[in-house]
Structure 1
Amino acid sequence: MARSVPARVVAVSGVVVALVAGLAACGATAHDDKDPEHRSFPLQGRTLTIDSDDSALEIVAADSNKAGTVEVTRWFQGSVAVGSDPKVTWSMKDDRLVLREKCSGVVADCSADHRIEVPRGVSVKVEDGDGSVRARGFEDALSVHTADGSVTVTDSSGPLDLKTGDGSVRVSDVSSRQVKAQAGDGSVVLELGSVPDRVETRSGDGAVTIELPRATYRVTTETGDGSVDVSVPRDDSSSHVVSARTGDGKVTVRTAN
């Protein structure tokens, strides 16, 4: 004779299924946090490393009212139906700002955003495990590496080193002389306002588009599967070097209108 499933087990299973379905229908978003937290962290030197495991980041070079401080605003929404309560932490040690999110369980749904205001004159390095990164206003070196998420940089003039494992890279309103941009799976778009000394771009799977001021460039292109369109003036002896490579996608190097 077949054994019957206890009614309590069936009821609990039904609740879990309902919770999963409910969370899937309306996932958490940090934008729903109407009461964000704010904190100031002291910064002694001229460099800052931002170490984040799972958060969207907005990083701004700003004239801070407090000299030598990094101002951080945090938005967070999260729920865990079966498991430990979700938690976010932030801390600064030396020149390293560490942002962490703990959100695990049978039914877990969390979302975090951070806005980080950095004093001008500070070089910034970003290490993000999962999340998009937006940065603007930097006159000093900026390095952004994220495993999963788009990278967007605007209104900057310092050297740029940008990399994402899965997502697009977009640079606009930038006068940097040195630009390195890499996307494992996504497009790369650069719109440069000043003649650069060196530009290196690479995409594993996505189009590469570089828009440059009028000048003569030494251009190298490569694509595994896609067309190539180079319309800027070219000279193999030029000191302005541009490299555009993609495994699968179109390569465009053109003069800005």
Structure 2
Amino acid sequence: MARTTLSARAVLVTGVVVALAAGATGCGASAADDDHPDHRSFALTGRTLTIDSDDSALEIVASDTANSGTVDVTRWWQGSVTIGKKPKVSWTMKDDRLVLRLRCSGLVADCSARHRVVVPRGVAVKVGSDDGSVRAQGFRDALSVRTQDGSVHVTDSSGPLELRSDDGSVRAEVSSRTVRAHTQDGSVRLTLDAVPDRVESVSDDGSVTIALPRATYRVTTRTDDGGVDVSVPRDESSAHVVNARTADGKVTVRNAN
């Protein structure tokens, strides 16, 4: 009789947990639902900002109107943990390294965060994200972005770019003279408004598309499984170098419309 009671309790507890999990999944926390975001300014002493983020979508903006020597951050977030510790967000700055964290763990946990970081022009930025998409715009100085799980999208920038996603697409609509883009799982799509000096684009699993201004280029392409379409004028002695490779997908190098 005791065994039957114990078994029934186990089934009941399991059922409750499953129901809670289903409820949490059905609702889905979204940072967009935060109507009262937090704001904070951090002092920047040098000319390079490093952003270390985990479990948050990032928007990074270089602005002429931003205060010199100051990084302005806005944070939106929502979260709940039914069985586990209360979720927590934090932001700290030390030695020009901005650390953004969302702690959300438990048997039934549902959290979402988004940060907008505004930096003054003239500041180079290095971004490392463990989990979350990264969007950036307005950079005239060097920008380096790496995310382990999330897409990367850069617009309205002219500084050197180094963009990498271990799992996600990489996109850029820029006038940068040097662009390096790499994704292990996802497509790469680059549209350049100025004739570049060097473009390197690699996808381990996904298509690669590069749209270029009219000029003559030294183009190298490779795909292990997919087609190649190069329609820009080619010259092996050109100073404008384009390298496009993918292990699985089509490679396209064409003139921008």
TM-score (norm 2): 0.97
Deviates further, 93-102 or 57-66: 57-66
Q: Distance in 2 between matches of 1:163 and 1:253?
A: 20
Aligned partner of 1:175 in structure 2 is: 175
Q: Could you list the per-position Cα deviations for residues 205-241 of structure 1 after superposition, in whole angstroms to 9, with x for gaps in the alignment? A: 1000000000000000000100000000000000000
Shift of 1:251: 0.3
Matched length = 256
Shift of 1:11: 4.2
Q: Could you list the per-position Cα deviations for residues 134-187 of structure 1 after superposition, in whole angstroms to 9, with x for gaps in the alignment? A: 000000000000001000000000000000000000011x11000000010000
Q: Secondary structure at the match of 2:209?
A: strand
TM-score (norm 1): 0.97
Matches within 5 A, 1:41-120: 41-120=42-121
Aligned: 1:28 with 2:25 = no
Q: Is the 8 A contact 2:66 2:119 kept in 1?
A: no
Q: Distance in 2 between matches of 1:121 and 1:92?
A: 19
Aligned partner of 1:153 in structure 2 is: 154
Moved over 6 A (4+): none
Matches within 5 A, 1:218-229: 218-229=218-229
Q: Secondary structure at the match of 1:82?
A: strand
Aligned partner of 1:211 in structure 2 is: 211
Aligned partner of 1:14 in structure 2 is: 15
Q: Distance in 2 between matches of 1:90 and 1:254?
A: 43
Q: Distance in 2 between matches of 1:139 and 1:171?
A: 14
Deviates further, 13-22 or 114-123: 13-22
- Residue type of the partner of 1:123? A
Q: Distance in 1 between matches of 2:163 and 2:67?
A: 29
Q: Secondary structure at the match of 1:4?
A: helix
Aligned: 1:245 with 2:254 = no
Q: Distance in 1 between matches of 2:103 and 2:25?
A: 19
- Residue type of the partner of 1:243? N
- Residue type of the partner of 1:171? A
Inter-CA distance 65–250: structure 2 relative to 1 (3 Å threshold): closer
Q: Is the 8 A contact 2:66 2:120 kept in 1?
A: no
- Residue type of the partner of 1:49? T
- Name stretches of at least 5 consecutive residues in structure 1 with no aligned partner: none
Q: Could you list the per-position Cα deviations for residues 68-92 of structure 1 after superposition, in whole angstroms to 9, with x for gaps in the alignment? A: 1100000111110001000010000
Q: Is the 8 A contact 2:66 2:118 kept in 1?
A: no
Shift of 1:22: 0.5
Aligned partner of 2:133 in structure 1 is: 132
Q: Distance in 2 between matches of 1:78 and 1:110?
A: 4
